[in-house]
Each structure stands twice: as structure tokens, then as C-alpha cells.
Amino acid sequence: MKSWEETLIGPDEALEAALNSINASGRGICLVVDAERRLLGTLSDGDVRRAIIGGATLATPCRAVMNGSPTAIAVGAPRRAVLAELRDRQLRHLPILNDGVVVGLAMPADFLSAPVRPNRVVIMAGGKGERLAPLTLDTPKPMLKVGPRPVLETIVRTFADQGFRRFYLSTNYKADQIEGHFGDGSDFGLEIDYLRETRPLGTCGALSLMPRPLDGPFILANGDVLMHIDYYGLIEAHEASGADLTVVVREHRIQVPFGVVESGDNVVISITEKPTFAYPVNAGLYVLSERALALIPADQPMDMPDLLTQMLARGLKVRSQRDDGYWIDIGRMSDYDRANAEFGEVFATGG
């Protein structure tokens, strides 16, 4: 099947051009967009036929007969949410939007089997997990069991379920347990290589060990964070934006346990009782292009905030993408207990 981009058409183009686009893409629909690819409407093959029966001609502009209120979904929506939207609304097509801009098109056929994705996934799995002691005295944190399997295996499976096959696992603490479990990945139908840290290199220092050149952007994930997100949609949005680094963020809400007083010159202006403030926080998931790697020193410790700061100072493009799907950072014993309690419901479909 051709690229979804062949479905894009301008609002002033004629129905004849729309029919040609529908035939060329093989997807049975046109996405009517403006010059910035913002979605204006949709036009299916059925819409065109009904319009012509109703008196339109092949010269009629698309904007005159398009569906101006199509159902769409935000980029990064969990795979199960996209499938549910298609199924529950009995849709044949579902545009994927990033702030109104079309970045993809979902169809039921996309979920029959996940296409193989060429992009690499790097998972940081070298930490000691000291806050989870004594569990981590003999077992590295990514290999602690959540549900029926190690948390790192569940993370790998969530990527594999979306078609990712090529992985780097960054290891340090008790690396032999991780490599003994996954091997070269062949038992899982995957290709797994290792970035072996001889000492802790921080949250992104191990990326300096990756072979170059790369064959496209790659995902960087943490080996102790479970989440549901459309990973490939994340990559598509990253590429469409021209960014060098995409940081996934999520909303974190904090309630002040007191009344907050606003004043000026000792005059009270207002008081708000126990207000709640929301902040976008780092979800520990990134997409990087190769230009970002040039700033990481070889085999030296470096954390992601330092890389981000250097990129901004050099004028590289860093973007954020919000995702509010399921997410848990297994950093404390309470998080570990919660992850085990929720696992059966959240990952019941095999994620």
C-alpha cells in the first residue's frame, strides 16, 4: 500500500483530482488540508459518488462536498485507543493529528499485524535501583518481575507488538542477568545488541557507544518505565517536525496543602484555598536524530538535561510531545507494588 501522504489534497482542487488521489493511494479517502497540512475535512470514495449523484461535477472543488467535521485522533494515542475508536465508531479511516496537523492515517488493516519498523530502540537498563533494595541486591531493577515477567521484557514486548525489531540494551549493573535472559534476541524474534557500560554513564552517556552512521531516528526509553503510547506515531511526528530531539512529557499535578495568598505592597489581592498546579514533566521517553549524538562525549557520563541544554545552546530543534496514557516509573517500592497490582488490567492484551 502507498504512503498515507498520497491522500493529501487541497480544498480548491477538483473532485477529479480527488478521485485520482483516492485511486493512487489505494486507501479510499482524501484528507483535505491547507498549505500547512492542517486538516480541513475528508472526502471518501463514497462521498465523491454521492456528490456526483447529487449534482456535483468532476470540476467541483473538494471543499464544497467534503466532510468538514471528521473524526480524528491525537498523535501518540495508545494503539488500543486507536483501534477502539475505529471499531466503536465503525470507521474505515482515522486521521492522526499533531496540533491539528495531519501526521498519519489509521485504518483497520493497520491492526491485523504490525508492520516491521526499521527504527532502533535503545533501552537504558544499567541502573542499580538502590531505592528498591533489598530486591535489587541480587537482581538488576529492569529484571524485577512485574506480573509474570521481568519489567524489561514487558517494555521490549510493547515495542515488538508495534513492529519494532531492532534493540540496543544499555547495561552495567549485573549485566550478565540481562544478557542471559535476552541473548541476541532470536528467542523473541528480535535483534538485540548491547551497549556495555564499564561504569555508569548517566541517562544518555551510553549513546556514545552506538555504531554510526544511523539509518534514521531512534527511540530512547528507560528500562523501569511502563507506558502505553503509539511509538511509531511518535517517530512520525518527530520526523514531520524536523526536530533533532523529541521529549515526551506528561502532566503532573501538585496540590498546595495551604491557602495561597496573592498580595502586592502588603495588600491582599486574593486567597486560593489549597490550589492545584499542573506542570509538564519529563516522561523518560525520547526520539533522537543523529545530529544529537554528536554532542555526547565518547564513553563519558552525561545526563539528558545536559544534552538538552547543549542542543538548545547550539540552535538545534528540541520539541516536546504530550502523552497522558498509562505511565508508571518503577522507582520506589510503592511504585513497584502498584505496577504489580495494575499489570493484569493494563497489559491484559499481552503488552
88 and 62 in a common domain: yes
On whether the CB atoms of residues 193 and 290 are closer than 8 A, the answer is no
pLDDT in tens, 34-75: 999 999 999 998 899 899 999 999 999 999 999 999 999 998
Question: What is the model's pLDDT at position 1?
Answer: 40
Which pLDDT score, from 0 to 100, does residue 62 have? 95
Instruction: Report how far Cα 4 is from the mean position of its chain's Cα atoms.
Output: 19
pLDDT in tens, 112-123: 666 788 999 999
The whole domain housing 10 covers 4-111
With contact defined as beta carbons under 8 Å apart, do 343 and 146 qualify? yes
Same domain, 258 and 326: yes
Q: Is the pLDDT of residue 110 over 80?
A: no
Sign of the C-alpha dihedral, residues 195, 201, 204, 208? negative
Q: What is the pLDDT of residues 13-36, one digit of tens each?
A: 999 999 998 988 888 899 999 999
> For residue 263, what is the enclosing H or E element?
strand 259-264
154, 21: one domain: no
Task: Give me the percent of the chain exceeding a pLDDT of 70.
Answer: 97
Do residues 288 and 332 share a domain? yes
pLDDT tens digit sequence for 240-261: 999 999 999 999 999 999 999 9
Q: What is the CATH number of the domain that holds 72?
A: 3.10.580.10
Residue 95 sits in the same domain as residue 137 = no
pLDDT at position 348 is 54
Query: Parallel, antiparallel, or unpaired: how do β-strands 225-227 and 245-255 relate?
Result: unpaired
pTM (whole model) above 0.85? no
Predicted pLDDT at 89: 84
Strand pairing class (276-288; 245-255): antiparallel
Residues 125 and 200 in one domain: yes
pLDDT at 237: 92
